[in-house]
Structure 1
Amino acid sequence: MQGEVGEDLLSLRLSVGSAYHFEPTKKRKRIDEPNDKNIMVLLQARDRMIRFGCNRHGMGDDKGFQLVRLLLLCATAVDRNDLSSSTDLLRQLYRNVSLSGNPIQRVTAHFIDGLMARFITKNSSFYSSIMADPSPADVFSAFTSFFLASPYYQFAHFTANQAIFEAFEEDEHWNGGCLHVIDFDVSYGLQWPSLIQSLSEKATNQKPISLLITGFGKNMEELSDTEKRLSSFASGFRNLFFEFEGRLRGEKGQEEIQVKKNATVAVNLVFYLHTLKNYSDIYATLMQINTLNPSVVTLVEKEGSRGNHSGFMSRFMESLQYFAAMFDSLDDCLPARNKERLRIEKNHLGREIRNAVAVKDEEEKGCRYEGLETWKTAMERYRFEGVRMSSRSVSQAKLLLKIKSHCSAMDDHGNGTGFRIFERDEGKALSLGWQDTHLITATAWRRSS
C-alpha cells in the first residue's frame, strides 16, 4: 500500500497545492468559531466511526487515492480557516474511515481527529474529548506492545547499544571495567537490558564490570519504576555491578552531570533532541555533552523534514507520508483486529499524530523531526565527528529484521518488500526503513580531535 500512497501524495502535492494556493498570505482571518451545532454533527459522525468501524468498509484499497485527496483538501480548508468547507470535508471523511480497516483508513482516522481538534480550537469545550491523553498505564502498555511487535524501537536500542559496547571495548586498556551511560531520556528503560546482558557475558570473576546509568525522566514515579525494573534484571547476572541514578528532566542543576572517574562515558540521545523546543536548546545540550568528554554519543532520530521552519501544509504532507508507512508496517506485524495493534495505533502513534496536527504553536510539543543531514550538521558544528557503524551493527540489524518480519519477503542481505536496512553517509549511518521510506536513523559520534 505504501508505495501507491507515496505516489499519490507526490501527485497531490501539485494538484491540491495549485488548486488551493498554499501561501501563508492566503489564509483567512478567523472571525468566528464553529458553532456547537456543527461540532455536535461532527462528533456524532466521529462516534459512529468509532462504534461501528469494525463493520464499515468505507473506501476500499483501490479508493485510497480519493481518501488521501479528501484528507489533503480538508487540511487545506482547516489551515485557511474555511469553516464551511472544513465542516463538510470532516463529515465526509469520518464516514469513510475505520479504526479497524485497511492501513490508509486507519491512519487517516487519526489525522482527521487532529484536524478536528485544530478546527474547533482549544477554546472549545469539546476539544478535550478529542485530545484527551491516555492514562500513564495505557501509554506504557502501548509502548511496550509496540516495542515487542515491531523492530522499530529494538533497532534503535540495539544499534545504539552496540556502538556503546564497542566504545567500552576500545577503552578497556584504561577504563578498569567501568562504563558510565548518561541517558538524556531514559523513558521506561527498555533499551538497557540488552546492554546489561552483553556486558555480563563479557565479565568474569577476574574482570568484573561496573555499569552506572544516569537517566533523565519526566517524573520521579517513572524513574523509580525504571530503576526497580533494571536493578531487578541486573541482579540476575554475575560479575556485573549495576547502579542507576535517576534525574528529573529540566530540574535545576541538570547541566551539572558528574561523570564517573576513569570510566568510559557514553551519552545516549535516542529520540531526545527532537523534543527540545528550539535550536538554542539543542545547541546548548550539545555544548554540555562536549564538556563531558564522552567516548561515544549515540544519536537516533525519526526521519523527516517536519521542523518548525516549514508551513503547516508542508509538515502535514510529510507527516502523512511518514505515518502511512508506519501504519502499513504494523500491518506486517499484527493482524487487523488485534487488540494490541489497536492500542498501539490509538495511544502511541495516534497520540503523536493528533499532537502534531492539532497544536498550532509547534514549539509547544517539540515535534522537530529532521533528516540525517540536519542532525549531522548540528553535531559537526559542535565538534563531533561521525563514527563508522561496524559490521556487527549492520549484521545485528539485518538479523533483527529476519526475526521480526512476519509477512514480508526477505533476502539473504536483509532487503525485502517491507522493513529494510539502509547504510548511509559512507557507512556512518544506519536507517530502518519501510520499503523506500526511511523511518529512523542511528548514528554514533565522538569528539573531534
Structure 2
Amino acid sequence: MRQLVLTCAQLISRSDLAAAHRLIVILSTNSSAYGDSSDRLIHSFTKALNRRLISTTSTSNTFLINQHFHTSNNYNDEAIIQSSFLSLNQITPFIRFNHLTANQAILEGIDQTNHQSLMRPPQEPQNIHILDFDIMHGVQWPPLMQAIADRFPPPTLRITGTGNNLNILRRTGDRLSKFAHSLGLRFRFYPLLLANTNVENVDHLIDRLSDVIILPNETLAVNCVLYLHRLLKNRDKLCLLLRKIKSMNPRVVTLAENEANHNHPIFPSRVLEAMGYYTAVFESLEATLPPNSRERIEVEQVWFGREIVDIVAEEGDNRKERHERYRSWEVMMRSAGFRNVQLSSYAVSQAKLLLRLHYPSEGYNLEVMNECFFLGWKNQPLFSVSSWH
C-alpha cells in the first residue's frame, strides 16, 4: 500500500491523472482512519493525494471521491486545532520535549548572564524578557515561570508573544498573567500582532521586530519552537530575519524543528520523505494508545493529518510545513552569526526522565549530537532542539 502511495505521487507528477485517480480509489477502499497505524497512515496520505489531484485538474468533479473523503475539512477551525494541539501535548512527548529542553536552555543562558554580571547588587532581581515566535496558547511558559519564581530574589519576567489572532494573544496573556500572580511573580505580557495572511510575511515580521523594546537591564531570550520552517519559502529573507534577531543581542536563542526534509522541490521525493517520517509518528501513537482512543484519532486526523495535507497537496505560497533537518538550520544559524551553546548534562537527564516517566514505551529515544538534542522513535529522528548565542 505504501508503494502504491509513492506510485500515485509519481503519476500525479507526470500528469497521468486518470491512472492516479484509479490508484486513489484502490487506496481509499483499502485503508481506514480507524485501523492499525499503517491503515491510518495510508488513509491520511490518500486523502492528501486526493486533494492534490483535485487542485491539479480543472475537472475536479471527475476525480472527486465523495464516497471515501469529506470534501470539507476542519483544518482551519481554530477550536478544533486547539483541541488537537492540547491532545498532542498530553499523549505524546513531542511538544513537552521541545518546550522542556528549550526552557532549560533559556534558564542556563540566563544563569550564565547572571554569573557574568558583576554590577548587579546581590539582592537586585534579574529582569528577563522572552520573545516567543507564535506563542499560541502559551503552554510552554508555566513550568519556566514556576522555576524562576522559586529563585531569590525572584526575577521579573516580560514575554512578547507573536501571533496573527489578537483575541488568542490576549487570552494567552490573561492566562499567563493570572498564573504569574498566583506565584507572586512580577510579570507583563505584550502581544505582537502579525499580518493575518496565509503566507508568513518575513518583511512584515522584521518590521514588527523593530517595535520590540529591549530595556537596558533586561536579559533577552528568543524562542523559536516549531515556527521558522514556515519561512523557508524564501531562504534569503529568513536569513535576514535571523540576522535581525542577532542584532537584538539575545543571551540565548532556542530552536526546535521537525527533523525531516519536507521541503524537497521534487514532489515524489517529498512524499517519500514524509512517508518515512509519519510512519514513525503513527507507530509511536499505536504503541502508546488503544485504537479507539479519541485523543489518538483527533491527533492523527487533525494535527498530523493537516501537516500531511499541507506537505502533499499544497505548493507555492500555500505550503507552510517546509521542514528541514538540523544540518540546514545549523548552516543558516552560523551564517547569521550565531554559535552553538552546549546544553548541560542536567538537561539531558531531565529529557530522559520525561520520556521514562510519562511515555514508558521503549520506542522513544534521545540522542545528543553536535550540541543538539534529537528525539526519535526507534531509528527515526523526529525533532531537534538546539541552543544558540
TM-score by length of 1: 0.78
2:134 is matched with: 185
AA aligned opposite 2:161:
G
2:329 is matched with: 375
**Cα distance in 1 for residues equivalent to 2:222 and 2:267:** 33
**Cα distance in 1 for residues equivalent to 2:74 and 2:315:** 17
Aligned residues: 363
Secondary structure of the 1:254 match is: helix
Secondary structure of the 1:423 match is: strand
Q: Write the deviation string for residues 114-171 of structure 1: whole angstroms up to 9, x where unpaired.
A: 1001111175476992555242111000000100111000000000000101111122
- 1:219 and 2:161 equivalent? no
For 1:380-391, list aligned pairs within 5 A.
380-391=334-345
1:281 is matched with: 237
One of 204, 226, 247 as aligned partner of 1:271:
226
Secondary structure of the 1:267 match is: strand
Query: Contact 1:134–1:347 (CA<8 Å) still a contact in 2?
Result: no
For 1:106-121, list aligned pairs within 5 A.
106-121=40-55
Taking a change above 3 Å as real, the CA distance of residues 158 and 149 of structure 1, as seen in their structure-2 partners, is same
2:187 is matched with: 242
Mean alpha-carbon deviation: is it higher for 225-234 or for 372-381? 225-234
One of 350, 365, 375 as aligned partner of 2:305:
350
Structure number with bigger Rg: 1
**Cα distance in 2 for residues equivalent to 1:440 and 1:132:** 26
1:415 is matched with: none
AA aligned opposite 2:11:
A
AA aligned opposite 1:230:
L
**Cα distance in 2 for residues equivalent to 1:373 and 1:400:** 26
Query: Contact 1:421–1:432 (CA<8 Å) still a contact in 2?
Result: yes
Secondary structure of the 1:299 match is: strand
**Cα distance in 2 for residues equivalent to 1:357 and 1:198:** 41
Mean alpha-carbon deviation: is it higher for 253-262 or for 159-168? 253-262
Q: Write the deviation string for residues 77-100 of structure 1: whole angstroms up to 9, x where unpaired.
A: 122221221121111111111111
AA aligned opposite 2:145:
I
Alpha-carbon distance, 1:73 to partner: 1.4
Secondary structure of the 1:385 match is: coil
For 1:400-419, list aligned pairs within 5 A.
400-406=354-360, 408-409=361-362, 418-419=363-364
1:23 is matched with: none
Secondary structure of the 1:212 match is: strand
- 1:420 and 2:365 equivalent? yes
**Cα distance in 2 for residues equivalent to 1:97 and 1:236:** 49
Secondary structure of the 2:51 match is: helix
**Cα distance in 2 for residues equivalent to 1:96 and 1:443:** 41
**Cα distance in 2 for residues equivalent to 1:121 and 1:198:** 49
**Cα distance in 1 for residues equivalent to 2:23 and 2:8:** 6
1:99 is matched with: 33
1:72 is matched with: 6
In structure 2, runs of 5+ residues without a counterpart are: 196-203
Alpha-carbon distance, 1:71 to partner: 1.4
1:396 is matched with: 350
For 1:326-341, list aligned pairs within 5 A.
326-341=281-296
**Cα distance in 1 for residues equivalent to 2:220 and 2:248:** 8
Taking a change above 3 Å as real, the CA distance of residues 183 and 246 of structure 1, as seen in their structure-2 partners, is same
For 1:28-177, list aligned pairs within 5 A.
67-121=1-55, 124=60, 129-130=71-72, 133-173=75-115, 174=117, 176-177=125-126
- 1:230 and 2:230 equivalent? no
**Cα distance in 1 for residues equivalent to 2:285 and 2:181:** 34
